Structure 1
Amino acid sequence: MSEGEKAKVTPLRPRRPCPECGRPSARDTYPFCSVRCKNVDLNRWLSGAYVIPGEDAEDTPDGTPEQD
């Protein structure tokens, strides 16, 4: 491929800042910049540091869910 043809190739995904450190993302570890940042994020999910908020389910004394 010549230099002119390389310039016309569009990337599959736009380069974005790594959500962990802010450096540009890499194709093989997208959206992270490195395997290290990818593993840091995974560890946070597995340790419970990231939590998706929701309502607690409260049961009635007989064990059935409350009806509104």
Structure 2
Amino acid sequence: MPSKNAGKARACPLCGQPRDPEFKPFCSRGCRDRDLLNWFGEDYRVPAAQAPDGTADTDRFDEG
């Protein structure tokens, strides 16, 4: 059974232009670099669970 996306060209996640295999999943070096800068600039964030006192689990040395 073919996948739902078979035959559909996927677009660059930043600008929507057709992807270039050299810069996959992006369309150009510019979009690839802009995505990397977004990570460096903390524009993208991964949610983390925190304790009610605001500390992360890795900050707790008194347990176990």
Fold match (TM-score > 0.5): yes
Task: For structure 2, list consecutive stretches of 5 or more residues without a partner in the other structure.
Answer: 1-7, 51-55
Aligned to 2:22: 28
Residues 15 and 26 in structure 1, CA contact (< 8 A), matched pair in contact too: no
> 1:32 Cα shift?
0.1
> 1:49 Cα shift?
0.6
> 1:26 Cα shift?
0.3
Query: Aligned partners of 1:50, 1:31: CA distance in 2, in Å?
Result: 17
- Structure whose alpha-carbon radius of gyration is higher: 1
Where do 4+ consecutive residues of structure 1 move more than 4 Å? none
Task: For structure 1, list consecutive stretches of 5 or more residues without a partner in the other structure.
Answer: 1-13
Q: What root-mean-square deviation, in Å, do the aligned CA atoms of Structure 1 and Structure 2 show?
A: 2.1
Percent of counterpart pairs with the same letter?
A: 35
Residue 53 of structure 2 corresponds to residue 55 of structure 1 = no
Query: Aligned partners of 2:28, 2:40: CA distance in 1, in Å?
Result: 19
Q: In proportion to residue count, which structure has more helix? A: 1
**Secondary structure of 2:30's aligned partner:** helix
Name which of 9, 13, 27 aligns with 1:19.
13
TM-score w.r.t. structure 2 length?
A: 0.67
Query: Aligned partners of 1:39, 1:15: CA distance in 2, in Å?
Result: 22
